[in-house]
Every structure is written in structure tokens, then in C-alpha cells.
Structure 1
Amino acid sequence: MKVVFAGTPEFAAVALDALLAAGFQIPLVLTQPDRPAGRGMQLHASAVKQLALQHGIEVLQPLSLRMDAKDPQRAAEASAAHERLLATDYDVMVVAAYGLILPRSTLDIKPCINIHGSLLPRWRGAAPIHRAIEAGDEQTGVTIMEMEEGLDTGPMLLIERIAIEPADTTASLHDKLAALGGDMIVRALRRIEEGRLEAVPQPATGVTYAAKISKEEAALDFDLSAVELCRKIRAFNPFPGAHGLVNDVPIKIWQAEALDADSDSLPGTVLAADATHGIIIACGKGTLRLHELQKPGGKRLPALEFLKGFPLEEQIFD
């Protein structure tokens, strides 16, 4: 089976690597254009592009796949990509975290299969891993699905579940789901080749949407319960990094623990900041013990190390 692959970040690169290791022919890869990154804002290739070039695979990086785009450059690049797909000998397109919408003109060329990091129909959309942790879901997984024009609405081919562990962050859960997705897409394509995989419509109930994560969401509201705050801290690790303000200085909080003990102090008040108790913050309900913090320009530090350079006694997190 010959596979055109469309994807951009590391989540997708893991799947592409699994397909290559399994012996699938990949004549063409689509990925997002190189983006500026780092302090020097130099252009960096996506994880998928880097892997594709290592294997000598042709790479296309159109700004859009919509030939009716209003911007002439986007429309021209979409038309060129469409013609290249038509000229490519392939059986199926596999899509994983590509970042561009596939229009009907692309979906009609050959079957398109998506690797989605949630248990559909829960968490359709851009940030399923973040939102599952933030919502307190006890489990998540990967769905292999046929693509259609709706947002993650296509029929399901394969679905597998894993537990969300209490200490899981978006970073750790991402890695688990990426590995699972790579394994599942290989199995799914093998079964398709053998005619042993049947598409099943998604349930009509239980639909939720995983909106894209914004930097503004990273500002913690200590009026929330400690449990909710702890989930947000885990969900926003590594991006965008949850934070609170201390005297207008943004302090990122990377790891924390929700405690049952309530406090009469105003939410955000630092109740303890010492070697005996650690850093404990009053919340709307319960209290929060902070384990790893970072000040602007500094390193991520354990709480006691952080306190040596940034005392928090009698402070308030806004």
C-alpha cells in the first residue's frame, strides 16, 4: 500500500516513522511551511519534514489546500499541491495533526484516514490532549477515522483507550498517544489491505470540542478549586505554561499538588513558603502545594530551590 502522509509536529512524526518502519511506501509528504522559532526567530522545519528528508521523501509545504482561497498565493500553492497529488501514485492519505483543513477536492482524490488523539466523539478539534486533562477525564485514547468535511466527524475504523494517570501532563500523555497512534495506524492499514476493517459511525451523543489553547488561558484564577487548578497546570505543561502574578511578575507553575485542607485566607494567598511545608497557596476550595516553579528568564526549579532566589512569604498570587 502506498501512503501519502500529511502531518506537522512530533505527534505526526512518530506515526510517519512507524509507517516507514513497517515498510509502507511513502511517495509524498505534506507538512506546514517552515516557521520562525527560537530567540533568533530562524526558520525551522517541522518534525515531519525533517524525518521525510532523512528518508529522501518528497515534501510539499503549501500555505493552503483550498484552491478557492481569496489570497492569490495560497490559491496558487493549493492548485499546485492538488496537481501533485493527482500525479502521485498512492492508495490512501494518512493525516495526523497536519494543521490545514482538507477540502473536498483533496478528500475526493483518494481515501483519507486521520489519527486523532481522543476517544471520538469526545474532544473533536485542535487540542484534545490538553482538554482531556483539563476536564479531569480518567481515560483517553486514539481514534483512527475516515475523514470527511466535518470537524473530526468521520466514521471510526479503530479506537483504543488508555488511562490518564494522576501525574500525566500534556507532554507525557502526548508521548503515550503518539506511540499508540503510530502502532494503530500500521495495524489499521494492514487490516484495510486484508479487507478486515469496517468503518463505524460515531455516536451522536457525547460530542465535545477541544478548542485551540490560547496563552491567555495560562493565567491561573485562584478562585477556582485546587483540584481544577492542578488539572490546568498539568494541561498547560509544556505549553503555554500555567502562571500566576506575584507583584506583577509572572511566575510559571509546572507541577503542583491539590490538598484537601481549606483556608479562610483570600484565594492566591501564600500560606506557607518554607522547608517544612513547601509552598502552599489558598484556593477557592482546598489548597495548592507548588512543586516546580520558574521566574522570568530563570530555570524550572523545585520549590525550595526557587525560594532561595524568590522569597514568597506574605505574598499573593493574582
Structure 2
Amino acid sequence: MSEYGYFLATEEFGPAELVEQARMAEQAGFQALWISDHYHPWNTAQGQSPFVWPVIGALAQAVSLPIQTAVTCPTVRMHPAVVAQAAATAAVMTGGRFRLGVGTGAALDEHILGGPWPPPHVRLDMLEEAVQIMRNLFAGEEVDHQGTHFTVERARLYTVPDEPVPIDIAGWGPQSTALAARVGDGFVTMAPEETLVSHYRKGGGGGRPVSGGLKVCHGPDREAAVRRARALWGSRLLPGETARILPTPRHFEQLDPLLTDELAAASFTCGDDVDEHVAALTAYADAGFDRVYVGQIGPDQRGFFDFYRTKVLPQVQGPGLPGLPGPATP
């Protein structure tokens, strides 16, 4: 039985809106929160991008739900030693309700300091080294590290949670999935692909949690919802590595003419058909996901939460499940 959480989009909403959505999510019966970590939105229409860490601090005070970044890149824009401090503080503020989701990132956010954007295999190697640095720091001991990609000199975190912060690793293909299985405390991916889940489990992921996320656009006018989904989240429709290598929202907007309403209608669950929303969620559960996070596209958040509270969540939720497992033994 899967748990169902809400996906907070920092690209689309400001800090106060995100906190209010978290409150509504808890009241509606969602069991956990995801929150994205971006420097830029995907396009100008989204129009926001607050720094995720103070928002997490506000969420810690506003709700009692578990919180996870989906996902943070701890390698280019921010050094892993800094991310470790932020994550440890978030875990303390939430009383252990915080998980750190990490990935190899996108040029959209990570290019801003002017360095090169590494190829995928280098980014994976950087991520693995970053995870080890953060795990060492979570132990509260002084850390010295001279690695291939990072240096840490006599660093120690003094504010740490009772248990190390679990680190879940995002993957979209065989190499990143293998890394998640080898060194992650859990696996994060976006599509309900049973094959990826199977590769993760067989590659060493075992009983560690698998989490996935999707965007929907609830509303009474399905065609209007489709247009809104395409305009705001057309980046989700781009193939291959495109979303990883484009550096600015303007570059994503240049591809808008290639993104049709028909493509959006086939990719997003739009409108107010209960069965379609239930099917979109259960596809993840059927593929073996432990947690499924759904995010509403557009401003009608209250209507979405009312719809899910009364019509969707009662059909997919079982009795409350215990929290996801903690970190793996390094």
C-alpha cells in the first residue's frame, strides 16, 4: 500500500503560498510533502523560485508532515558540506521528519556560478562523492576530505539530528538507478516505470523506499486545464537530456512551439474525472512505489485539495503507514 503526499512547486509559487498549500495538504489528508529546489523556474510563466531552505524552516513550524527535497543538487551550485548543514538543521527543526532527496541537477540551476556543466557520468561521480561527504558530516565528527571533486577541511556540524538524515537519490536511467541502489537510502524517480523500480530493487535497493511524483491540473474545464499544464509545465514534455542541458528559462520558452496541447493532454491528468486521477496515482502504486507525490498545476489549489480530500484520496489511501525507513548503513 502506497502513501500519498503533496508536491510543492517552488518554481510556481512564493514562500507564503507554499506554506499555505502545505497546511491545506495536511488538512486534506495527504501524508507527506515534497518540495522542489530550484534557482530558476523552468519558464517565465511559472514566475517564482524562492530559496528552498528557509521555506522548509517555515514548513517545519506550519505542519506535522514529513518533508523531503525533490531534489537538491549538492555538487555545483552548493558544496555538499553546505547542503549537509542545511539538511541537518532541517532535520532538527522537523524532529526527524526530513529526508534529503538529491540528484545530479540541471544546467538551468547549476550554471549560475560560471563553471562548466559536466557530462552525465561526471555528475554521477560528483554526486556519489557528495553523498559520502554529507554522511560523514551528519555523524557530527570533524571531517577532512581530499577527493576527486571536493575538498573539506576540518569541518564539523554542531547542530545535528539524533539520527543521520536519510539521503534518497534520484534516477531516470540505468546508471543513476544503479547509483541509488548502491549508495542511497531510497530512490526517487518521476515516471511510474516498473522496470526502473525492479532494477533498483535487484541492484541493492532491497526494501528501501521508492518515491515518485506527478503533476496534474484539476479543474472543471478539461481543455483549459490542458492549456494551463502545457503553458506552465511544458518542460516535462521535452525528450531525453534536453531539460538537463538548457541553461535559462528563455531557452525552454524557445521550444514552446514544439509542445502541443495534444502532447500535454496525453502526458498530464487534466480535468475533474475522478477515475482518471485515481488511475494516475494507482499507476505508481502498481509499479511498486512506496510514496506518490502529486502536485496541482495552476492557482486553483483550494479546489484541488477539496477534490482530492473528498473524491480521490478516499479511493487510494489505506490506513496510515509508518514513516519510511531511515538511512542505510554506509
Provide TM-score, normalisation by structure 2.
0.30
Provide TM-score, normalisation by structure 1.
0.31
Of Structure 1 and Structure 2, the greater strand share is in 1
Q: Which has the higher contact order (CA 8 A, sep 6+)?
A: 2
Higher Rg = 1
